[in-house]
Each structure stands twice: as structure tokens, then as C-alpha cells.
Chains A and B, each alone.
Chain A
Amino acid sequence: MKLSELAEKLSLKIASHTEGMNGNITGAYSSDLLSDVMANSKVGNVWITLQTHINIVAVASLKGLAGIIIVGNRQPQPETIEKAEAEKVTILTTSHTAYETAGQIYQILST
């Protein structure tokens, strides 16, 4: 499924790198521990987190993730957005919790 389709179904707001919305997602990974994401997420996953600081961009970029969904109405910091544009990392936001977001994605991807 394309990231854009998922974003539409979940009413996600785009915070950076709109071009990345055409990318395909292979699944999702939910974690707020950055080393855990690097160890256990898969290439092309969309990453669900409440972290908003600049280092999430490097994690997503180095791991080859499809995008980041920041939950709970949190907003990425300005320097995070700037870095994400430069590194071509798509960041989306939602008012829903990580639990709700993961649950919705799980349902969408398994049907």
C-alpha cells in the first residue's frame, strides 16, 4: 500500500517531504526507543512514535523506513522538519495515540 493511501485512511497530516507519499509501505513498527527501531523495524516500514526531536530523521533515513507517524498531537520540532526535508524523510502527524494508530494500520494492512 502507498503511504498516501494510508495517510488518507487515517487522516494523517503531512509535516515534511510530500514526495515520499508515493512510496510503498511494507508494514509498521511502533516504538519510542530509537535503537529498538534500528534493530527491529524492517525496510519500508512506517514508524509510529511520540518522539519529535531531530534524531528520528537519521534513524528513519539510515534504516530505509517509508515514513514516520508522530502520535498524540505532538509536532516535530522545526529543526526536525528542516532535516527531514533535506534527508527526504516523510513525517506525518495524528491526534490519535500510538495504540489507536497501530491498531488501525494493523487492520488496514491485514485485510
Chain B
Amino acid sequence: MTPEINGNVEGSFQLIGGNFTNAGEASTQLKMKLFEFGVDDAIIRRAAIATFEAEMNVIIYAAAGQLHYYITPENIKIRVEDMGPGIEDIEQAMQEGYSTAPEWVREMGWGAGMGLPNMKRNSDEFMIESVVGEGTTVHMTINLNE
């Protein structure tokens, strides 16, 4: 099915570090937008999971961040930038099971070292840039047409 997207649609959300209560708001809104456009359910879910994991990383690790999405008839581009501690070793952070999350976050069932791998797995293109002491930016592209 071809999504009914006329022109390009974009939006952004502010994310606040430590705000677990509103976690998932950005993903839910993006999901509803894609649903309105008639995007395939499986693709919507991939976008929702990738976005939610990115949201969680900002909430767990950073002081604040911003999520920006850009939807075209071909794909969804999601960019999440944060003012966080940055990632020293991206290759290590990408390994499933590796996490630097504090104990109380792990008790909530987060910090299993699966967030970044989940984002990558659900994206068609995935790129991460990070500067220690400044922050991290994640770029994800999800194709709308198989």
C-alpha cells in the first residue's frame, strides 16, 4: 500500500532528562501521524520502537534533548540530539548487553544494553555521532516503501 503523503511533513518534540512519566509521548504522536497517512502497520511499529528507544536514552542519560522527524513519501527521517554526557566508545555502546545505566534505571527494566541495537535493527539507515561532554545525535531513516 502506498502511503498518502502529500508533500513533506515535519515536527519536533522537546525531551526532558529524568522525565519517565512522559516517556513515549513523541513516539505515540509520530505513530498517530503515520497511521493517518496510511503507512503500513509493521513500518509504523518499527518507527515507534526506534523513536521510543531514542526517547528513553535522552530521558535516562541526558539533561535534555530534541527529537525531530521529517516524513516524505519515501521515508521517515528521525534525528534525536541531546545535551548528555556523550558516548566514549560507540562501538562498545552498540554491543547488545553493554550499558552504563545506573542501578535504579535497571530495576525499571531499562538499561539492558538493547536500546541502540533496537534502534539500529528497526532502521534502514542508522548513524550516531557523539562528543564526550557535549552530547549525542542519532540519525535514523526508515523507508516507507518496501
A residues whose Cβ falls under 8 Å from a Cβ of B: 32-36, 38-39, 43, 49, 51, 53-55, 57-59, 61-64, 79, 87
Q: Which secondary structure characterizes the binding site on chain B?
A: helix
A57 to B115, alpha carbons, bound, how many Å? 17
B118 with A39: CB separation less than 8 A = yes
B118 with A62: CB separation less than 8 A = no
Q: How far is the CB of B118 from chain A (nearest CB, A)?
A: 5
Q: How far is the CB of B44 from chain A (nearest CB, A)?
A: 9
B20 with A54: CB separation less than 8 A = yes
A49 to B112, alpha carbons, bound, how many Å? 15
Give 19 A-B contacts (CB < 8 Å), ordered by A residue: A32-B109, A35-B110, A38-B53, A39-B49, A39-B117, A54-B20, A54-B23, A55-B20, A55-B23, A55-B56, A55-B109, A58-B24, A58-B27, A58-B52, A61-B28, A62-B27, A62-B49, A63-B48, A87-B28
A35 with B53: CB separation less than 8 A = yes
B23 with A33: CB separation less than 8 A = no
B112 with A36: CB separation less than 8 A = yes
A64 to B28, alpha carbons, bound, how many Å? 12
Instruction: Give chain B residues whose Cβ lies under 8 Å from the Cβ of A59.
Output: 24, 52
A39 with B109: CB separation less than 8 A = no
Q: How far is the CB of B76 from chain A (nearest CB, A)?
A: 15
B28 with A51: CB separation less than 8 A = no
A64 with B45: CB separation less than 8 A = yes
Instruction: Give chain B residues whose Cβ lies under 8 Å from the Cβ of A53.
Output: 20, 108
A38 with B49: CB separation less than 8 A = yes
Question: Which of A33, A54, A79 has a CB less than 8 Å from the CB of B112?
Answer: A33
A49 to B53, alpha carbons, bound, how many Å? 19
